[in-house]
């Protein structure tokens, strides 16, 4: 019984962390979208559609910027 309860707590914690992480990525991407160029918006759109870092790099995005866009970090 204790193991099931512990597992449920872990699942709940992971779900909350995932939700916060998704919110942080969405906020960072919105900030980049508002302040970026048309090319930056293209890369953001690609990332939002599920393309990863290699795809952004092959489309011409700087590797460091591609990693930041996909992870949701700004600055």
**Tens of pLDDT, residues 39-51:** 878 888 888 888 9
Mean of pLDDT over the chain: 80
Are the C-beta atoms of residues 70 and 52 closer than 8 Å to each other?
yes
pTM exceeding 0.85: no
- Residues 32, 36: Cα–Cα separation, whole Å: 5
């Amino acid at each position: 019984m204790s193991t099931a309860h512990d597992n449920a707590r872990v699942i709940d914690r992971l779900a909350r962390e995932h939700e916060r992480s998704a919110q942080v990525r969405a906020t960072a991407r919105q900030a980049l979208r508002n302040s970026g160029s048309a090319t930056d918006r293209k890369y953001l759109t690609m990332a939002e559609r599920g393309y990863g870092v290699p795809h952004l790099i092959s489309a011409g995005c700087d590797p460091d910027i591609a990693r930041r866009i996909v992870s949701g970090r700004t600055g």
